[in-house]
Amino acid sequence: MTTVVERITTGRAGFSVEFMPPRDEADEVRLWNAIRELEGLDPAFVSVTYGAGGSSRDRTLRTTGRLAQETDLVSMGHLTAVNHSVAELRNVIGWFAEQGIRNVLAMRGDPPGDPMGEWVKHPRGLEYAEDLVRLVRDLGDFCVGVAAFPYGHPRSADLDTDTRYLVRKLNAGADFAIAQLFFQPEDFLRLRDRIAAAGCQTPLLPGVMPMTTPKVLAKTVELSGSPVPAAIARRLDPLVGDAKAFRAEGIDIVTETCQRLLAEGVDILHFYTFNRSKATREVVGRLGLVPVRS
Ligand code: FAD
């Protein structure tokens, strides 16, 4: 069974995509349309985010299972330690194995409600993502990824501390890392340099999201933890009242970022899709990352 790390280390440029558990039936239809539209473009792998609790977690598992059973895509389940005992985490990991899912993105997760609220470990749970990396590794032959943060994790005191713990987590048994959203290629490349300077060669994928609307731009600010840089604000701010022009410029900006990353030796770009395929297909097409058919 092909693993994520096998798919991202072929030396060929490509892309991967991230979906979210569908909220309702209409969302599920949208999601599966997006999956079918992207499938033919041969993404390196597809992943499904792990919900904050109960029914959303069930929907994550159902979607990841369906991807493994009903498509030829290499699928990865996200998993977080938040509000889980070790016994529950073992069950989920066992369920992944039963479904033929061999790839897990292991994270700590955020406290439900307020992501910056107090982190309280489950009394029989895990404290850090690195503990989850070890647990997944101990339970079987999994390919394990972790999260990385170009501007530092919001709870980290400074970038040096952030790098130290990130490298510790990678060395605990991670095969690769995926970076949180960022605005400019240098922000990602500096993170890659920090990891390399610490002597760690684990592959790192950039997280990419086409900034198609002011709402998506605001989401990028929220997830990345960075304000919009002046160079990008100068291009997008004047277009806020013109949806078509904003979208076109947003796609241009992301395409330029991706071109620079590919020129800097990045092989795989990881797209956050929010269960829509159009913008990803557009950027991937402009980058020439579509499979060559004979
Ligand atoms: P950790 O690596 O445990 O780090 C948490 C904090 O603790 C950091 O500040 C770190 O520096 C510090 N730290 C780490 N180890 C130690 C140590 N040994 N001693 C002291 N301090 C330490 N969230 C979801 O709920 N579901 C998802 O599906 C999801 N998918 C994501 C996908 C990607 C690509 C990314 C980038 C994020 C995703 N998130 C998701 C969000 C993520 O769960 C949160 O950002 C979370 O806060 C990050 O957890 P972590 O795994 O990086 O935590």
Q: Whose CA is nearest to atom 42 of ligand 1?
A: 109
Q: Is the CB of 187 under 6 A from ligand 1?
A: no
Compute the average pLDDT of residues 176-187: 98
Q: Which pLDDT score is estimated for 112?
A: 84
Distance of CA 211 to the CA centre of its chain: 16
- Asked if the model's pLDDT at residue 147 lies above 50, the reply is yes
Compute the average pLDDT of residues 193-202: 97
DSSP string, the chain: ---HHHHH-SS--EEEEEE---SSHHHHHHHHHHHHHHHTT--S-EEEPPPSSHHHHHHHHHHHHHHHHH-SS-EEEEEE-TT--HHHHHHHHHHHHHTT--EEEEE----SS-TTS-----TTS-SSHHHHHHHHHHHSS-EEEEEE-TT--TT-SSHHHHHHHHHHHHHTT-SEEEEEE-SSHHHHHHHHHHHHHTT----EEEEE----SHHHHHHHHHHH--PPPHHHHHHHGGGTT-HHHHHHHHHHHHHHHHHHHHHTT--EEEEE-TT--HHHHHHHHHHT-SPPP-
- Asked if the model's pLDDT at residue 292 lies above 80, the reply is no
- Asked if the model's pLDDT at residue 293 lies above 80, the reply is no
Q: Is the CB of 109 under 6 A from ligand 1?
A: yes
Q: Is the CB of 182 under 6 A from ligand 1?
A: no
pLDDT digits (tens, 9 = 90+) for 81-127: 999 999 999 999 999 999 999 999 999 999 888 888 889 899 999 99
- What value does the mean pLDDT of the chain take? 95
Please indicate whether residue 282 is annotated as part of the active site: no
Q: Whose CA is nearest to atom 36 of ligand 1?
A: 180
Best of 50, 108, 149 for a ligand 1 pocket test (most atoms within 8 Å of beta carbon): 108
Q: Is the CB of 119 under 6 A from ligand 1?
A: no
Question: Would you put residue 83 in left (φ > 0), alpha (ψ -120 to 50) or beta?
Answer: left
Q: Is the CB of 137 under 6 A from ligand 1?
A: no
Q: Whose CA is nearest to atom 39 of ligand 1?
A: 109
The residue type of 72 is: D
Residues 273 and 16: beta-carbon distance below 8 Å = no
Q: Is the CB of 49 under 6 A from ligand 1?
A: yes
What atom of ligand 1 comes closest to residue 106's alpha carbon? Answer: 51
Residues 104 and 131: beta-carbon distance below 8 Å = no
Q: What is the C-alpha to C-alpha distance for residues 113 and 271, in angstroms, rounded to an integer?
A: 25
Residues 247 and 198: beta-carbon distance below 8 Å = no
Percent of the chain past pLDDT 70, that is, above it, reads: 99
Compute the average pLDDT of residues 121-150: 97
Q: Is the CB of 169 under 6 A from ligand 1?
A: yes
**Which two structure tokens, joined as six digits, stand for 192?**
């890659």
What atom of ligand 1 comes closest to residue 128's alpha carbon? Answer: 3
pLDDT digits (tens, 9 = 90+) for 45-92: 999 999 887 788 989 999 999 999 999 999 999 999 999 999 999 999
Compute the average pLDDT of residues 252-258: 98
Phi, psi (degrees; rounded to nearest 5) at 66: -60, -40
**Which two structure tokens, joined as six digits, stand for 23?**
């909220």
| Structural domains of the chain ordered from first start | 4-286 (3.20.20.220)
Q: Which pLDDT score is estimated for 116?
A: 84
Output the CA–CA distances (angstroms, integers) from residue 196 to 55, 162, 172, 267, 294, in the order listed: 40, 14, 16, 16, 38
What atom of ligand 1 comes closest to residue 181's alpha carbon? Answer: 36
Q: Which pLDDT score is estimated for 277?
A: 95
pLDDT digits (tens, 9 = 90+) for 19-41: 999 999 999 999 999 999 999 99
Q: How many CB atoms lie within 10 A of CB 52?
A: 16
